[in-house]
Amino acid sequence: MGLAYNLFLIPHRIVPGGVTGLSIIINYLLNTPVGLIVIVFNIPLFVLGIKTLGKTYGIKSLVGIILSSFFIDFFTYIVPIPKATNNEILAAVYGGVLLGAGLGVVFRGQGSTGGTDIIGQVLNRFTNLSIGKGILITDFIIISLGAIVFHKLESALYGYLTLFLSSKAIDLISEGWSFIRAVYIISDQSTTIARIIIEKMGRGVTRLYGKGEYTDVERDVLLCVVTKREIPKLRSIVKEIDPKAFVIISDVYEVLGKGFRPRV
């Protein structure tokens, strides 16, 4: 996160939302350290988070706030690093990806860096807004404020791009690549299909019992979890036995159990 801000975002005045984005605006107006202002803004949010979300959340938030703020100023004043590019589009892209990677590591460890994620959770507690929508609304306002202060519409456009890319990187780091697929198979030949999958693919199959709401007919539903590479073979087996079978294939981000290794 510290590298993302100092290599790409702060030099180009790209506001990615959040308390740090607000601190970049203050830095532009008053030349104050971004990391220090992040801590100042997070003090009332930290107190609010403890009162609303509990002490455990507050402790993890405090660690995240202090470390992220420290490294933002560390690469500014203690070990200064120059900006990585003069191109604002590249800065928005790489800054967003690197920022999201850092946040993803924090969230994967069930931590927090404070800021708008606390606001989002508090809004969720007292309103009908989801956490994601609460964060999105707050970030939208901060990014738009940056464009007004910098007198530059492109600043907002770069900020929205950075926000989008960082959210994707967060999902990728915190949830991982989806190499596993869950397959649901509805077929009159379910017994034969299950047997062939077990014999030829060595994968377990779970038989679920469902009922068609429209036809009012009870049907077996097969559930099988396989790797991405095994999908073509499984699809071929089902098609060969019952070309009219109804098959649903969905992403699975983690499987715990025999035959699958946990994510690193």
Buried b (16+ CB within 10 A) or exposed e, 200-217: eeebebeeeeeeeeeeee
Distance, in Å, from the CA atom of 167 to the CA atom of 177, rounded to the nearest integer, reads 15
Answer for the pair 222, 190: CB distance below 8 angstroms, yes or no: yes
The pLDDT tens digits of the residues spanning 66-89 come to 888 999 999 999 999 999 999 999
Closest Cα partner for 8 from 97, 78, 140? Answer: 97
More reliable by pLDDT, 49 or 105 = 105
pLDDT-wise least confident of 185-199, 215-229, 236-250: 215-229
The pLDDT tens digits of the residues spanning 131-141 come to 667 777 888 89
Q: Report how far apart, in Å, the C-alpha atoms of 43 and of each of 57, 134, 167 are.
A: 14, 20, 25
- How many helices (H) and strands (E) are present in the chain, helices listed first? 10, 4
Average pLDDT for the chain: 85
Supply the pLDDT for residue 158: 94
Phi then psi for 248, rounded to 5 degrees? Answer: -120, 125
Percent of the chain with pLDDT over 70: 89
The pLDDT tens digits of the residues spanning 85-139 come to 999 999 999 999 999 898 888 877 767 777 777 777 677 677 776 666 777 788 8
Q: What angle do CA 177, 85, 77 make, to 5 degrees?
A: 95
Residue extents of the structural domains in the chain: 2-175, 180-252
Listed in order, strand segments (DSSP E) in the chain are 180-186, 206-211, 218-227, 246-252
Distance, in Å, from the CA atom of 139 to the CA atom of 143, rounded to the nearest integer, reads 6
| Report field, pTM of the whole predicted structure over 0.85 | no
Mean pLDDT in residue range 205-216:
88
Distance, in Å, from the CA atom of 90 to the CA atom of 111, rounded to the nearest integer, reads 29
pLDDT at 255 over 90: no
**Looking at the domain 180-252, which fold is it?**
Alpha-Beta Plaits (3.30.70)
Type of residue numbered 150: F
